[in-house]
């Protein structure tokens, strides 16, 4: 009996030292943080309908990549006053969430059109209200010669275009979010959901945080594949309402009214897991009626555009590169940009 107790004690001690060692290693190396670790790349904007913006003149690590901004607060090199400027408006897809500075779609376009300034005016979390305000407040004075708007369906999957805001810790929060006493997001699937004290572990254990990221990433990939397959099996099931499209149209009119009447414009539809077989034709018609040429990247990727390995929304570097090549060809085909010799 004594030997059994000793063996159990040694087993428990070994388990404790094993997991304790992992915990200590993660904390010392900084690979995982148990404290809120928001990207230090945003600041509040003085313009209410912009809400928040990129900090000008920084080079900081965020979203597992280096984010460098110019003096205007855009993720682009400084503008050359001797070159005409083309603006790429959008959200995190345009910004290049999870991509290095030279892997973003605007960066690839800059390589393909070296005689122009390609201005990456995308910011994570922005919707068309904020994109329009950014054009009005920051870009209009630059007198751009052409404009590309990269659209993602999350702009119209909700009827109201709420503005995300920075909280006191620098974390982006959706409109209407209110601080709570407990901001707990533990593992909620599999056997791990049965672990007692999940919220305490979520807030204090680096090992638990790392495990949660692994479990969530694995589940996210499976869920992405399931939804991609389901969308193809039920291609004409639509989660975008006509009301949402009407509201988006109103905001698109606000943007186009700010633009010079003769400015070339390209509207790019970014592909996601849902096919949107009913909404896409309506969206194309709206964009064309307001003077945009339209490029539908579903024609290239379907609803299976490769995403980052740790993310189920944002494009993999190869996806961004391919998209930039197609956008470049569309810009030349529609006369948005002249062909480079």
Reported as a single tens digit per residue, the pLDDT across 66-90 is 999 999 999 999 999 999 999 999 9
Rounded distance between C-alpha atoms, residue 233 and residue 91, angstroms:
29
pTM of the entire predicted model? 0.88
**Residue-range domain boundaries for the chain:** 1-31, 42-164+237-333
Indicate whether 203 pLDDT > 70. Answer: no
In this structure, CATH architecture of domain 42-164+237-333: 3-Layer(aba) Sandwich (3.40)
Indicate whether 263 pLDDT > 90. Answer: yes
Classified as helix, coil or strand, 119 is: strand
Q: φ, ψ for residue 92 (rounded to 5)?
A: -70, -25
pLDDT for the residue numbered 24: 60
* C-alpha closest to that of 88 among 64, 69, 104: 104
By the 10 Å C-beta count (0-12 exposed, 13-18 middle, 19+ buried), 143 is classed as exposed
Indicate whether 104 pLDDT > 90. Answer: yes
Which one is predicted more confidently, 159 or 258? Answer: 258
Q: What is the pLDDT of residues 85-101, one digit of tens each?
A: 999 999 999 999 999 99
Average pLDDT over residues 195-219: 66
Average pLDDT over residues 209-215: 66
Indicate whether 50 pLDDT > 90. Answer: yes
Structure tokens at 139: 């870009």
Distances (CA, A) of 294 to 263, 324, 327: 15, 15, 10
Q: φ, ψ for residue 301 (rounded to 5)?
A: -105, -10
**H helices then E strands: how many in the chain?**
10, 11
Q: What is the pLDDT of residues 158-174, one digit of tens each?
A: 666 788 899 888 888 88
């Amino acid at each position: 009996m004594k030997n059994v107790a000793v063996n159990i004690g040694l087993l428990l001690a070994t388990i404790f030292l094993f997991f304790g060692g992992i915990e200590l290693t993660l904390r010392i190396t900084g690979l995982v943080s148990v404290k809120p670790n928001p990207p230090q790349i945003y600041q509040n904007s003085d313009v209410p309908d912009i809400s928040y913006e990129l900090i000008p003149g920084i080079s900081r690590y965020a979203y597992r990549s280096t984010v460098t901004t110019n003096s205007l607060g855009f993720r682009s090199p400084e503008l050359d006053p001797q070159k005409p400027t083309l603006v790429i408006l959008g959200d995190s897809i345009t910004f290049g969430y999870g991509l290095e500075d030279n892997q973003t779609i605007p960066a690839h376009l800059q390589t393909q059109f070296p005689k122009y300034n390609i201005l990456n005016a995308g910011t994570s979390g922005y919707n068309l209200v904020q994109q329009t305000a950014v054009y009005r407040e920051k870009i209009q004075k630059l007198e751009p010669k052409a404009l590309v708007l990269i659209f993602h369906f999350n702009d119209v999957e909700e009827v109201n275009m709420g503005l995300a805001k920075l909280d006191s810790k620098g974390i982006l929060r959706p409109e209407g979010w209110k601080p709570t006493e407990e901001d707990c997001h533990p593992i909620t699937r599999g056997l791990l959901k049965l672990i007692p004290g999940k919220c305490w572990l979520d807030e204090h254990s680096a090992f638990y945080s790392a495990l949660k990221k692994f479990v969530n990433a694995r589940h996210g990939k499976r869920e992405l594949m399931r939804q991609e397959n389901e969308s193809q099996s039920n291609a004409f099931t639509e989660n975008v309402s006509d009301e949402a499209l009407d509201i988006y149209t109103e905001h698109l009119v606000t943007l186009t009214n700010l633009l010079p009447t003769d400015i070339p414009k390209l509207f790019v539809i970014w592909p996601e897991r849902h096919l949107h077989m009913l909404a896409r034709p309506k969206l194309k018609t709206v964009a064309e009626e307001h003077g945009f040429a339209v490029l539908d990247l579903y024609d290239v990727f379907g609803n299976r555009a490769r995403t980052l390995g740790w993310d189920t929304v944002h494009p993999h570097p190869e996806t961004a590169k391919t998209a930039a090549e197609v956008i470049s060809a569309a810009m030349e085909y529609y006369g948005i940009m002249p062909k480079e010799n």
